Amino acid sequence: MASVPAPSGESHSRSPRAVRATSAERKKTARIHSALQALATQLEPGEIDFTPSTLNSHAGDKWFASHLPEAVAFPRNTAAVSTILAHANRHGIPVTARGAGYGYVGGCVPERGGIVLSLQHFNRILEIAGDDFVTVVQPGVVTGVLQAAVEKKGLYYPPDPASRADCSIGGNIATNAGGPRCLKYGVTRDYVLGLEVVLADGTVARLGSRTHKNKTGFDLHRLFVGSEGMLGVVTEATLKLIPLPPFRACLGVGFSGMRDAVRAIRAVFAAGFHPSALELADAFTLAAARKRTGSARLAGCAAHMIIELDGQERSVRAEIRALAAVLKPFQPLFIDRGFGPDGCEALWQLRRQFSYALRDTGLTKLNEDIVVPRGKLEALFRLAAGLQRKHGIQVACFGHAGDGNIHVNLMVDETSAAQKEASERALDELFQGVLALGGAITGEHGIGLAKKPWWPLAAGTAVRDLHRRIKHALDPRGILNPGKFLD
């Protein structure tokens, strides 16, 4: 069982270190240092950095764990990435690719040191082709920046992780990022048509194409989507675009109980609606949000739903009226309506406050992005309530109810040793319960370091072996993002 994440600022260590380095360790450190100095002579000035401040700022992501690398590389083109990987492969130096550093599971923590390969200079949108409905981008492009650029041309890139104003396309590809709109439009994988990838030995491979259909050999480009930087480094992506829906509208719906809300969701789908987003929040989350926002609207509200529709304005307005009629038999406390960008944003603003509101409680939020089959949503909320009763830990649930991807947050008092110990048991029971429902331990964030202890529980022996065989075929020396779930 994994230990509960320590408070922010604590160092991350899996085992005690000896006070004195062994002779072998000293020789290894000297060898790596010499190899890195040799690499610096092959790169342009500024493409590799050894300063302590740079090493510190590239040691972790949004999770609590961190580990200092020996160097941070800032390549400016694919040739430089190839040089770095070829050199690292020859000398057995670990390489951990890094996008914007906005992951939540320690995925870009350089657990074995070595080189952090930052893609921050790969930040150009190379092409937006309206006729082909594709965009060609570098991995360091911020997701929200890309979305704004294509929407100016009447095009649409739907994947919308909550951190889209900060996260990068490369990181989205590495984790197969999702978001609320994935209910209707799919996840990052569904928009990757082609990739330029640098393999562990420095080989540059162009996979896929810019066509929306392609059955030439294996779907190799998709192999790298969700691979968490363990199979290669993406240096360019060709992404599918679709027409921008001209209109959107939202309903914000309050319920006195979660049971009514979950059953209302079933009724929405049974009536033939396919929302672009369908979000749900529980009573604890809403109480925290009410305290933060001062919203009297949330008084007595034990569940809150946001449903968004998009398409042609006339049809969307008609569907919103029909959708409200579908919800009325479940006795909602209120149904708020929002039309157009401003009206929708007014309703979504409440959703954007949830994480901040939970932070305001002073408790440590252990955010788990589990996912269950749609039909098991009610069972998931029962599971969460049972964990709260059994372990005496508050549980806050909110997220993408339309596709079963609910963020279950254990709210732990880190000053209480008993709560910290209980949270370990609760996490283990949460993941076991989710798997028993036919779900998965991560729907969006990836495994990284945070969920590594549960990887054997989530994947059978044959599946784990197949992962290792693919890893060995593409990275036989194991230099790419070592220390994660395949080690």
Which tokens hold the place of 165?
């104003």
User: Is 444 part of a structural domain of the chain?
Assistant: no
Res. 216 pLDDT band, cuts 50 70 90: very high
Number of domains the chain contains: 2
pLDDT tens for residues 29-52?
888 999 999 999 999 999 999 999
Q: Are residues 153 and 262 in the same domain?
A: no
Phi, psi of 302 (to 5 degrees): -100, -10
Q: What is the pLDDT of residues 409-464, one digit of tens each?
A: 999 998 999 999 999 999 999 999 999 999 999 999 999 999 999 999 999 999 99
CATH at residue 313? 3.40.462.40
Distances in Å between the Cα of 318 and the Cα atoms of 183, 249, 254, 305 are: 21, 10, 21, 20
Could you tell me if residue 473 is inside a domain?
yes
Domain final position from 436, 451, 469: 436
Strands laid side by side in the 125-129 sheet: 125-129, 134-137, 233-240, 192-198, 204-208
pLDDT tens-digit profile of 280-323?
Answer: 999 999 999 999 999 888 999 999 999 999 999 999 999 999 99
User: Do 333 and 352 fall within a single domain?
Assistant: yes
Residue 191 token pair: 């928009």
- The alpha carbon of residue 472 and the mean position of all alpha carbons in its chain are separated, in whole angstroms, by 25
Same domain, 404 and 477: no
Q: What's the whole-number mean pLDDT along residues 345-351?
A: 92
Is 342 contained in some domain? Answer: yes
Residues 6+ apart with CB under 8 A from 39: 48, 71, 83, 84, 87, 88
User: What integer pLDDT is reported at residue 22 of this predicted model?
Assistant: 78
Q: Please state, in angstroms and rounded to a whole number, the distance separating the CA atoms of residues 372 and 374.
A: 6
Identify the band that residue 27 occupies on the pLDDT scale cut at 50, 70 and 90. confident
| pLDDT tens figures, 69-128 | 999 999 999 999 999 999 999 999 999 999 999 999 999 999 999 999 999 999 999 999
Return d(Cα 303, Cα 315) in angstroms, integer: 28
| Residue 474, both tokens | 């593409």
Residues 169 and 137: beta-carbon distance below 8 Å: yes
Q: Kindly tell me if the per-residue pLDDT of 1 is higher than 50.
A: no
Residue 1 maps to a domain:
no
The verdict on 175 and 291 lying in the same domain is: no
| pLDDT one-digit tens code per residue, 227-261 | 999 999 999 999 999 999 999 999 999 999 999 99
Q: Are residue 365 and residue 277 in the same domain, yes or no?
A: yes
157: in domain: yes
Tell me the residue type at 110.
P
In a domain, 2, yes or no: no
Residues 149 and 279 grouped into a single domain: no
And the tokens for 363?
Answer: 């408790």
Residue with tokens 């254990």: 410
d(CA 251, CA 277): 11
Q: Is the pLDDT of residue 4 over 70?
A: no
Domain extent, residue 286, equals 247-436
Amino acid at 116: V
* 303-311 vs 95-98, strand pairing mode: unpaired
- CATH assignment at residue 30: 3.30.465.10
Confidence of residue 20 (pLDDT cuts 50, 70, 90): low
Residues 286 and 409 in one domain: yes
Quick one: 131 and 277 in the same domain?
no
Residue 16 pLDDT greater than 70, yes or no: no
Q: What is the mean pLDDT of residues 352-369?
A: 92
Residue 442 inside a domain? The answer is no
Asked whether residue 220 falls in the same domain as residue 267, the answer is no
Show Cβ contacts of residue 410 under 8 Å, excluding neighbours closer than 6 positions.
365, 366, 368, 387, 393, 394, 395, 423, 426, 427, 430
The verdict on 377 and 415 lying in the same domain is yes
Return d(Cα 200, Cα 94) in angstroms, integer.
10
Does residue 11 sit within a domain? no
147 shares its domain with 278: no
- pLDDT at 263 (0 to 100): 96
Give the pLDDT of residue 6: 35
Q: What is the mean pLDDT of residues 165-183?
A: 95
158 and 258 together in one domain? no
Output the CA–CA distances (angstroms, integers) from residue 347 to 178, 321, 340, in the order listed: 20, 17, 11
